[in-house]
Structure 1
Amino acid sequence: MKLQDFTIRNTRPEEVDEFIDILEEAAEWLHSNNIKQWPLGMFRNPASRASMLTGIANKQYFTIDYHHHPSGTGATATTVIAGLFVTNYDDSFDELLWKEYLTSQGKDWKDALYLHRLVLKTPFKGCGLTPKIVEFVEGKVQESGRHFLRLDCLADNERLRRFYRTKCRGVDGEGKEKGGLNELPTVWNPELGLEFARFELQVVPF
């Protein structure tokens, strides 16, 4: 699989149930590994589904497609969903995680695009898709006129934290490492009873 075989687009309303299935599969994997980030079934309740449909209508939900081009005469190209992610501008979860700290630093927590629910289906993990997604969201930050891309992860996931702060942006056109995001102090989320690590990247608007 090559990166050029993947494209990112807005999720369609009729895909909401497949979107939910992918998130629930991820929640089950987390649960089986004793990571209690997403309670099982949280995405299947009617309120969550309705919220997703609203987000899809607002073009906050994105689908990653994999286009398979088999070789051979008469072979038919196919497209499957490889993963998904969500972008937020002023979600209450982000306000809880970011507002107090950023206000103390003289920053506006709404001056950002927040990346959430980045989930790749198992066959597509390790394909180098995260840098492609981060670059895509950087472009969305520029389009919005905001100045920061921000994301979070569980604080006890040191492997993921290291990836985000060192090389999640991939390489540039000359093959040089672009590095990662700036890691900020962790924060405790009282609603979930979990500690989160926070990362941000300043993006120059168009």
Structure 2
Amino acid sequence: MNGSTVWAGDQVSFRPAAEEHTHQVLDVLDEAAGWLGDRGIRQWPDRFPPGWVAGAIGRGETWLVDVGDKTAGTVTLDWADALWADVGGSAGYVHRLAVRRWARGLGAVVLGWAEDRARQRGVDALRLDCVAHNRSLRDYYEGRGFLHRGDARWPGLPGQRAEDVPVLWMSRYERPVAR
């Protein structure tokens, strides 16, 4: 999946988010957070502060996913994560993967793209995490070949990771990168 593919009959493309795209990234994340919140799932904050995405955007780790000429999603892919510090091996780490409700089902394409990027980088695995109580998301990851690699305590919501907030249990998932 180098750059683009087809999903539901439309062209899908991935483009790096730049500072001027911050509002687009936040719009997708806020829509997803609202949808989760309506279902009683506290995975993310109700609204993402710009500071939670600015660093990853500045480092070129955040991407916008377009279907045709519309922004359908966002994902951050980086190469280190403190939540996994106790686990060896090289990996790509998927963070803040979200798609707009009209693009439901696009997540599998985004995960395939992330695995392709990880393969190009030569890492052994693709890793991600979610709050342990989000059973439906855990089932989603497991259904896509991710193996549960244990739960870990972490302060704050994903992306927040601050010391002055309650501790959460995060479920960690990993899928080997196919060579």
RMSD, matched Cα: 2.2
Please state which structure has a larger fraction of its residues in helix.
1
- 8 A Cα contact 2:19 2:57, kept in partner: yes
Cα offsets for 1:70-125 (capped at 9, x unmatched): xxxxxxxxx110111111212xxx31x2112x1xxxx24xx111001111111111
**TM-score, normalised with respect to structure 2:** 0.79
Q: Distance in 1 between matches of 2:175 and 2:122?
A: 14
Residue identity (%): 28
Q: 1:134 and 2:135 equivalent? A: no
- Residue 21 of structure 1 aligns with which residue? 27
| 1:1-206 alignment runs, 5 A limit | 2=8, 4-44=10-50, 47-48=51-52, 51-52=53-54, 54-67=55-68, 79-90=69-80, 94-95=81-82, 97-100=83-86, 102=87, 107-108=88-89, 111-126=90-105, 129-166=106-143, 168=144, 180-192=145-157, 193-204=167-178
Q: Point out which structure has higher relative CO (alpha carbons under 8 A, 6+ apart).
A: 2
What is the TM-score when the length of structure 1 is the normalising length?
Answer: 0.70
Return 5+ residue gaps in structure 1 as ranges.
Answer: 68-78, 169-179
> For the structure 1 residues 12 and 197, does the alpha-carbon distance in structure 2 shift closer, same or farther, using more than 3 Å as the test?
same
2:35 is aligned with what amino acid?
Answer: W
Unaligned runs of 5+ in 2: 1-6, 158-166
Separation (CA, whole Å) in 2 of partners of 1:132 and 1:187: 27
Shift of 1:61: 0.9
Distance 1:136 1:204 in 2: 12
Bigger radius of gyration, 1 or 2? Answer: 1
Compare the two structures and name the one with the higher strand fraction. Answer: 2
